[in-house]
A and B are shown apart, each in its own frame.
Chain A
Amino acid sequence: MTPAGSLLTADGLHKAYGPTPALDGADFSIHPGEVVAVMGPSGSGKSTLLHCLAGIVTPDAGSVHYGGRDLSAMSDAERSTLRRGEFGFVFQFGQLVPELNCVENVALPLRLNGVKRKEAEARALSWLERLEVADVRDKRPGEVSGGQGQRVAVARSLVTNPRVLFADEPTGALDSLNGERVMELLTEAARETRAAVVLVTHEARVAAYSDREVVVRDGKARDMAGVR
């Protein structure tokens, strides 16, 4: 069943890594501009759900539809194109390219889409300003703090004006103060651009920034909209 007006939906997703099941019939949906927190304990399958939703991983069974298109029917190249243009990503660790400085890191998705360097970097700089890290534009990831690095990563995830933003524990490596600021900036920016946000977290205070929570447990996703 696809909820009306959903931008991204998943039905009956199954995924196993070897003998270990990660998803066991998980369903999910998200509307444009909506922030959905995917919660659950470690190893429950929430990151796998995000990877399936984003077309990074192909589920063993079930389907993922984005804008009416079945992701599993798309080729790897088509899914890559989709991720480059329509989706944005923020992860917990190791996401910035260490050789590139911050503005180049933010500009990278645009450049992969064929935008010219100057234009890409100008747009990247405006996102860095918006996320209050324009002062580190010329620094490399190794030269900035964890909080600054995560804001740069958020800027990079938003620079292509994605329709869906996938954030996997985006504040997991930050202290609470930095974490909250990153979440404020991320959700503010997403709402402004009407990007849907799939926010994987195990922290309740991070989930508090969402409009709706989905709990993943034993590979099944349970919508908590009615519960909260």
Chain B
Amino acid sequence: MTTQETATAPPQRPEPEPRGAIARWAADLAMGARFAVTGGRESWARTIMTAVGVGLGVALLLFAASAPNAYSLRDDRGAARSTYDTVPNTEVAAGPDTLRVADANTTFRSEDIEGKVLAPDGNHPPRPPGVDRVPAPGEMWVSPALKKLLADNELLRERLPYRVVGTIADSGLSGPADLRYYAGVDGAAFRNDAGYRIDHWGTPPSTKELNPGILLVVIIGCVVLLLPVLIFIATAARFGGERRDRRLAALRLVGADSRMTRRVAAGESLVGSLLGLLTGGALFLGLRELASTVVLDDISFFASDIRPSVPLMLLIALVVPSSAVLVTLAALRGIAIEPLGVVRNAKPRRRRLWWRLLLPVLGIGLLVPLAGGYGATSRSSDLEGYQAAAGAVLLLIGLTAMLPWLVEAVVERFSKGPVPWQLATRRLQLSSGTAARAVSGITVAVAGAIALQMLFASVQSNETKSTGQDPGRAQMGASVRVDNGAQANAAFAKYRATKGVRQVLGTTSGSVGEAHPNKKVDGEAPVETVTVGDCATLREMANLSRCSDGDVFVATSNAYPADEPSFLKPGVQVNLRLDKDGYPVTKNPRLWTVPRSAKTVTTKPDAAGFESPGVLATPGALDVSRLTDPTAQVLLRLDPKVPDAIEYARNTSAALSPTTDSYTLVSTSKSNQFTMLRKGLFIGATATLVLIGASMIVSMLEQLRDRKRLLSVLVAFGTRRATLSWSVLWQTAVPVILGLALSTAGGLALGTMLLKMVNGPWAVDWSSLTLMNGVGAGVILLVTLVSLPPLWRMMRPEGLRTE
């Protein structure tokens, strides 16, 4: 009986084991993680959406985190091949392990090519980085990019006529697009003190500091680019949230309490974000190969350079999953998941403005004290940098926080209008937060970009300098190293014979001293310059009323008045022979008398912006062969109708000597740092906007999928495609337009503040402001266009089927 009773008795109900808080958390998170991957197609779809979204954000963060490393590695390689030692005046004595080096840089169709000509003194010269051996005369090592350029351009091959004997390895290059060569020459190329001697390559890396204005741009730029990425990651963590909530309701039905469901939801998000980390890592590895093909301002990076530092990587790995969990928990605050379904507050609590306003006010509070004094002292700039960054972050986050309030406040007022407008605005009235969240990334990016553009406009005026050159008068200049006047004349003749050269303004200059100088005291003696050129050339250099061959002029400069009266006067005798130190040689002097008829004239800047006071003589008055160590300068007028005229002229320069310094005349020059920052920020902002557009598309598709049946019903009673398409457009456009309006106001405020900090004049770059708003409009259109095909697909009557 007892045995039978035992056999038929119902099994005892298992008693729940008491568990600690951590164990409960872990168990619930694990359950959520299981749901993320074992809930069938729908779970996978949600997990994949989150993973892809988070992955895109993580990839961008990894790129941003790689930037410091990439620049540092690039700089290190640059320093390793530098020949300018820290003590530039130290002369290296020739020996078996020394090398003569001269810069032989050139430009080919706006591509700058860095080159050096080398001539070993002995058998063991130091090798440049990335090169197996020092090239013999007539040989050349080239970078892969230059090899390709040479292969494609006959004109360039004429300029660099050396035989390519090897390719410079990555260790000797800045990046894959680096155009670089090392050519071997004989010692003759080093005439007239061209080049220098080295016994090793490399100098310690430079520790050049950015100027405070540019540093400020960098700080704000990072905030502007990274904040939207974080917002995007937070949005991605909510992908598929509504469906998940319905699933959680089923858990409530079988006894889970509300806290447990939140933890389960967090677990589900965690898996998505962890997969997102992996996706982001994979995307990063794939995209960095692509990034190595991008060239910006002649700057490129090897894929291997693009690697984030370990602490930053760890930070990303930690922050992304934890923020996904926090975002999920925060999102569930306004929702009651009940056993019979999800209850969203039909009338959500009205958003409060006060704390949203507090953030930008605090930001402004941090920025205002910096007005006028930012970067005044280098010691304070670190602290001020943090203060500026904190202020900008608070202001931008404040804008983000204000957007949901603004969207809610504005759409609440919409009640009239056509059906698509009504459908869109009513949808926004019900869930303005979702729309505002997606758009908030754009708000930060656009506000930041507008502010930065204002700062750019100001910094640009400081960083853009007038060169004093006049490209209207001559387009190219060159300093030709010559041993004597005959060589100078020969060089001018070669330029004259060059295709595309209309006029050569050539001068040969030398130094002159007094015919009877006082005794040599401290090696100092007054020296003046004598410049020989034809009348056309001299007219470019001084205000001459009349000039014919045989004339001489004594030119003084109003712009650069001499400290002491010059010994140069009409009728004075001068010595054309000077020693190495520039002192007139009194034994066997080479005397020449400035004609009494010489007129005194004033100089004017030539096309290159230089003034040449001293004696100006025509060839008939002074034979250039009498000058000691003359230098030849040419300014060339090129024929605009001849394509590549400048390239032919550069080829002539290179043929005269690879070390000839040729230059293009430009009226202004810009800071390279600035141009790079601007382009970098533009690329970053574009990537951010694309990301945000992607998240908006996902949100819209998700919303459409949830409303599949409703869409079918609307079709059943004859709703036009256009009606719903316009509704989708308005639904995207209203928050984006409000976001753009807010960000324009915020951006102008932040920009004004930044300009006050750097004491820049207030100016708005309206074109960039329009461009930014245009990009915003582009995002609206993109989201709408991408949403239309699935919308139309879902408007098919199949959605009405229930079986």
Set of chain B residues within 8 Å of A17, measured between Cβ atoms? 801
**Chain A residues numbered 25-73 whose CB sits less than 8 Å from any CB in chain B:** 42-43, 47-48, 51, 54, 56-57
Q: Cβ of A5 < 8 Å from any Cβ of B?
A: no
What residues of chain A have their CB less than 8 Å away from a CB belonging to chain B? 17, 42-43, 47-48, 51, 54, 56-57, 77, 80-85, 87-89, 91-95, 97-100, 104, 108-109, 111-112, 117, 140, 142-143, 156-157, 168
What residues of chain B have their CB less than 8 Å away from a CB belonging to chain A? 346, 416, 418-419, 422-423, 426-427, 429-430, 709-710, 713-720, 723, 797, 800-803
Query: Are B346 and A91 in contact, with the CB atoms below 8 A?
Result: no
Set of chain B residues within 8 Å of A87, measured between Cβ atoms? 717-718
Cα(A87)–Cα(B717), bound, Å: 7
Extra A-B contacts (8), CB below 8 Å, given A80-B715, A98-B430: A42-B803, A48-B801, A57-B797, A84-B718, A94-B710, A95-B710, A98-B710, A117-B416
Cα(A17)–Cα(B797), bound, Å: 12
Query: Shortest Cβ distance from B134 into chain A, in angstroms?
Result: 76
> A112-B419, A142-B346 are known contacts. Are A99 and B429 too (CB-CB below 8 A)?
yes
Query: Are B801 and A47 in contact, with the CB atoms below 8 A?
Result: yes
Cα(A110)–Cα(B643), bound, Å: 69
Cα(A51)–Cα(B427), bound, Å: 28
Query: Shortest Cβ distance from B561 into chain A, in angstroms?
Result: 80
Chain A residue at smallest Cβ distance from B343: A142
Query: Are A89 and B346 in contact, with the CB atoms below 8 A?
Result: no
Query: Are A100 and B800 in contact, with the CB atoms below 8 A?
Result: no
Cα(A47)–Cα(B713), bound, Å: 13
Set of chain B residues within 8 Å of A156, measured between Cβ atoms? 717
Query: Are A94 and B709 in contact, with the CB atoms below 8 A?
Result: yes
Query: Are B710 and A109 in contact, with the CB atoms below 8 A?
Result: no
Set of chain B residues within 8 Å of A82, measured between Cβ atoms? 718
Chain B residue at smallest Cβ distance from A111: B419
Query: Shortest Cβ distance from B710 into chain A, in angstroms?
Result: 5
> A56-B797, A56-B800 are known contacts. Are A109 and B430 too (CB-CB below 8 A)?
no
Set of chain B residues within 8 Å of A91, measured between Cβ atoms? 713, 716, 800
Query: Are A47 and B716 in contact, with the CB atoms below 8 A?
Result: no
Interface centre among B416, B430, B716, B802, by most chain A C-beta atoms within 10 angstroms, is: B716
Set of chain A residues within 8 Å of B717, measured between Cβ atoms? 83-84, 87-89, 109, 112, 156-157
Set of chain A residues within 8 Å of B718, measured between Cβ atoms? 80-85, 87, 109, 112
Query: Are B426 and A100 in contact, with the CB atoms below 8 A?
Result: yes
Q: Which of A42, A51, A97 contacts B710 (CB 8 A)?
A: A97
Query: Are B800 and A47 in contact, with the CB atoms below 8 A?
Result: yes
Cα(A130)–Cα(B720), bound, Å: 28
Query: Shortest Cβ distance from A95 into chain B, in angstroms?
Result: 5
Query: Are B710 and A56 in contact, with the CB atoms below 8 A?
Result: no
Query: Shortest Cβ distance from A60 into chain B, in angstroms?
Result: 14
Query: Are A100 and B709 in contact, with the CB atoms below 8 A?
Result: no
Query: Are B416 and A51 in contact, with the CB atoms below 8 A?
Result: no
Query: Are B423 and A99 in contact, with the CB atoms below 8 A?
Result: yes
Query: Are A47 and B426 in contact, with the CB atoms below 8 A?
Result: no
Interface centre among B709, B718, B720, by most chain A C-beta atoms within 10 angstroms, is: B718
Q: Which of A80, A99, A104 contacts B719 (CB 8 A)?
A: A80
Query: Shortest Cβ distance from A158 into chain B, in angstroms?
Result: 12
Chain A residue at smallest Cβ distance from B344: A142
Interface centre among A54, A56, A143, by most chain B C-beta atoms within 10 angstroms, is: A56
Set of chain A residues within 8 Å of B803, measured between Cβ atoms? 42-43, 47
Chain B residue at smallest Cβ distance from A82: B718
Cα(A93)–Cα(B717), bound, Å: 15
Interface centre among A51, A81, A85, A99, by most chain B C-beta atoms within 10 angstroms, is: A99
- 21 A-B pairs with C-beta separation under 8 A: A42-B803, A47-B803, A51-B797, A56-B797, A56-B800, A57-B797, A77-B720, A83-B718, A85-B718, A87-B718, A89-B713, A89-B716, A92-B802, A99-B430, A100-B423, A100-B426, A111-B418, A111-B422, A112-B718, A140-B346, A143-B346
Cα(A56)–Cα(B802), bound, Å: 15
10 nearest interchain CB pairs?
Answer: A84-B718, A99-B426, A83-B718, A56-B797, A94-B709, A95-B713, A80-B718, A99-B427, A111-B419, A43-B803
